[in-house]
Amino acid sequence: MTIESRNPATGTLIESFPAHDTVAVTTALGEAAEAFRSWRMTPCTERAACLRRVAAILREEKTALGGLMAREMGKPVVEGEAEAEKCAWVCEHYADHGEAMLAPEPVATDAVRSYVRFDPLGTILAVMPWNFPFWQVFRFVAPALMAGNTALLKHASNVPRCALTIEEILHRAGTPRGVFRSLLVPSSRIEELLGSPVVKAVTLTGSEPAGSAVASLAGRLLKKTVLELGGSDPFIVLDDADPLHAASWAARARAVNSGQSCIAAKRFLVMEPLGDRFVAALHAELEALPVGDPLDRATRVGPLAREDLRRDLHAQVEATVRQGATLVTGGKPIAGPGWFYPPTLLDRVRPGMAAFDEETFGPVAAVVRVSSEDEAVDLANATPFGLGASLWSADPVRAERLVPRIEAGAVFVNGIVKSDPRLPFGGIKLSGYGRELAAFGIREFVNIKSVWIGLDVGQKP
């Protein structure tokens, strides 16, 4: 079997790779287990130094890495360079703060001394998607390796060169052999990997069906899971907001990564009487976005990563229009080579329509007009997903009062949802469970161990 890398801007084959066979997978598992024995005992200062060297390589080579992402999955090259920078940031963040996050915590009990310590679990399997092919790996790898774990990556099959490049960077930075390996295998072999006694836990970023399947298997095996799945994030515009300012940020939120982001705003809940002005402004903003070759530094919207993704997105747009929404702009695949889809605006979307009920993974914005704060909150929560949400208002205090009512793992007031190494990241409902980043993330894959120390055997109580 071969794994292919195709340029989504042209549809042409870039290169192909032989999938790792059973011998190669078995060898990687053995090396990961062996490496864990020494890596777990490596001082935090040495692990941190390794992460800093990784960060330096990422920054020095961000131009080449941005080009790689553009060619392999269609990300606009400027965004790819920013992604490499962000990966460097997360490595440095855990290098700077990981030791303190893992420091034993004293607890007063009836013991002479008692405390909680955080020990690594072992080898963690990471099943990662294509849309942020470096960031979603590094936001797991940096805390996992800093905690003393080893890692195996099963990356999305359409970004094999990204997967191998990540492994190469870690090795060049001095990570011992076996601490991190990329396995070029199809999804059908995840069960084999997770079933290995070497693998102690699994983290998955991807679709809800993929998360459900992996969680079900991990549950039978009694192995820890962290899942970051889909999202249909609401973008609530209250009636005191500036509609032009909100629309400008709405376009940015929807167009990031050509709309292929779990935390991109997808449903724009706008209070009347701002509806017409917001739609007109968002229309203008979307039409002004340059669409084209992702290697062109002026491009803001590149191709979708695969032909089937464009086909599915277009079907959702057509269904939503049939169900009564108004197509303001876009809504038709761009003719020619590659898998391009234009920035698309749907107005007067309601529950029961495809663009409201389903996650749209592409540059399609669905505007929902609401009459009150309560309706905005109710419709924001009227989704099986719960990843992120943003609220826009001239009065941040007013917006913040709504935060406890929003069913999401993150709520941003007057800002678009983003991941930040300093804050925990993750969702609720069908958006998954567990957290990445911050201290919460580094403690997901550790043994939270209680230690109780009494009197010496020879001493009287």
Q: Which positions are catalytic?
A: 228, 262
Tokens of 297: 């530094």
Secondary structure (3-state) at 453 = strand
CB neighbour list of residue 281: distance below 8 Å, 6 or more residues apart = 243, 244, 247, 248
Which residue stretches of 236-306 are H helix? 243-255, 275-287
Q: What are phi and psi of 151, to 5 degrees?
A: -140, 140
**Cα 286 to Cα 251: distance, rounded to the nearest angstrom:** 6
User: First and final CA of the chain: distance in angstroms?
Assistant: 67
Tokens of 131: 């849309």
Q: What are phi and psi of 80, to 5 degrees?
A: -65, -40
**Cα 202 to Cα 367: distance, rounded to the nearest angstrom:** 37
**Cα 296 to Cα 8: distance, rounded to the nearest angstrom:** 14
Tokens of 241: 């907001």
Secondary structure (3-state) at 329 = strand
